[in-house]
């Protein structure tokens, strides 16, 4: 039986999603919990491989399991066996042919800036504290330029395994929520560090975004924003 699990996690203590020998990762923690809950758990797939320190509010996993609790009770069975920083929000039997990564139509991310003049211990590792003045109109214009199909090679490391750099952005916008200024983006898929590089460039020089799309180089874009402000919010199928 194939399960679909929706997870949220605080990425702070993990070295990203993907299992790495001897290092704490979200995947390793989930695999251990699955092994303690089911007779077998195979073909684990994830909608988006988050980097070290990146969080998730709606990560999606598919996995083939045998034995153990029924699908609707899998979340309750897994959660006591997971670290406090990881929670399974829901569990269900997956539709026929479902694959967490390949079946996904789009993924939505949020990057949080904390713009209060003073830092907050509650925002540490949850956002990027940036008390300097920001031109929110210029940021909005930069985000608007991202919509549609573009070559985003300027916003991923120059040394990369990617061969195709074109991605389609369905929506991109900055949203003010009190002391938070959030960048929200929905796209079919992403290059490595793409969202964080976009944020870093927009914060440094928002007017450069249109010129960097389709023809820019990574050396011409801005710094990569810290991982602590990035959240995988949702995956659409």
Active site positions, annotated: 51
Dihedral, 11, 8, 6, 62 alpha carbons, nearest 10: 10
Asked if residues 157 and 142 have their Cβ atoms less than 8 Å apart, the reply is no
Query: Cβ-count burial of 235 within 10 angstroms (0-12 exposed, 13-18 middle, 19+ buried)?
Result: buried
Please state, in angstroms and rounded to a whole number, the distance separating the CA atoms of residues 34 and 43. Answer: 12
The H or E element containing residue 199 is helix 194-204
The H or E element containing residue 204 is helix 194-204
| 152: DSSP letter | -
Task: Give start and end residues of each alpha helix (H) in 93-192.
Answer: 136-144
The token pair that represents 114 in the structure block: 């904390």
């Amino acid at each position: 039986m194939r399960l679909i699990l929706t997870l949220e996690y605080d990425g702070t203590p993990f070295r990203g999603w993907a299992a790495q020998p001897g290092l704490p990762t979200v995947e390793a923690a989930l695999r251990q919990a699955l092994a303690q809950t089911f007779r077998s758990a195979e073909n684990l797939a994830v909608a988006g491989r988050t980097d070290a320190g990146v969080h998730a509010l709606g990560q999606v996993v598919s996995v083939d399991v045998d034995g153990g609790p029924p699908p609707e009770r899998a979340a309750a069975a897994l959660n006591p066996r997971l670290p406090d920083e990881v929670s399974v929000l829901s569990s269900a039997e997956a539709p026929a042919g479902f694959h967490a990564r390949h079946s996904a139509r789009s993924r939505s991310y949020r990057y949080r800036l904390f713009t209060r003049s003073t830092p907050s211990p509650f925002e540490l590792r949850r956002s990027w504290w940036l008390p300097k003045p920001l031109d929110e109109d210029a940021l909005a214009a930069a985000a608007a330029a991202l919509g549609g199909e573009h070559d985003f090679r300027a916003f991923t490391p120059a040394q990369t395994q990617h061969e195709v750099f074109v991605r389609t952005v369905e929506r991109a916008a900055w949203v003010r929520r009190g002391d938070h200024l959030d960048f929200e983006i929905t796209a079919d898929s992403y290059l490595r560090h793409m969202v964080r590089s976009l944020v870093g460039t927009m914060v440094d020089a928002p007017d450069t975004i249109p010129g960097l799309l389709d023809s820019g180089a990574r050396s011409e874009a801005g710094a990569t924003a810290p991982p602590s402000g990035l959240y995988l919010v949702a995956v659409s199928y």
